[in-house]
Amino acid sequence: METIEKIFGEIWKTQLIKSLIVIIVSLLLYKSITFIFKGKKSEKIFESKKGNTYLKMLKSIIRYIFIIVTVLIILQINGINVGSMLAGVGILGVIIGFAVQDALKDIIKGFDIISDSYYQVGDVIKYGNVVGKVLVIGIKTTKIEDVNTKNIVSISNRNIDQVEVVSNMINIKIPMPYEVKVADAEKAIDDIVKLVKENENVEKCEYRGVDELADSSINYQIKVYCNPILKVQTRRDALRCVLIGLDMNNIQVPYNQLDIHNK
- Walk me through the domains of the chain, giving residue ranges and CATH numbers: 2-99 (1.10.287), 113-165 (2.30.30.60), 169-248 (3.30.70.100)
Which amino acid makes up residue 3? Answer: T
Q: What is the structure's pLDDT at 117?
A: 76
Tell me what pLDDT residue 21 has. Answer: 80
What integer pLDDT is reported at residue 5 of this predicted model? 52
Burial 140-165 (b: 16+ CB within 10 A, else e): bbbbbbebeeeeebebbbbebeebee
The rounded distance, in Å, linking the Cα atoms of 101 and 51 is 29
**How far apart (Å, rounded) are the C-alpha atoms in residues 157 and 140?**
6
CA distance 86 to 156: 28
Local confidence pLDDT in tens for the 263 residues of the chain: 455 555 545 555 577 777 788 788 878 887 777 776 665 555 555 556 556 666 666 777 777 777 777 877 777 777 766 666 555 555 455 445 555 566 777 777 777 777 777 888 888 889 888 888 988 888 788 899 988 888 999 888 888 888 888 888 999 999 999 999 999 999 999 999 999 999 999 999 999 999 999 888 999 999 999 998 888 899 999 999 999 999 999 998 887 655 555 55
Q: What does each C-alpha distance from 229 to 121, 123, 131, 226 come to in angstroms?
A: 13, 9, 8, 8
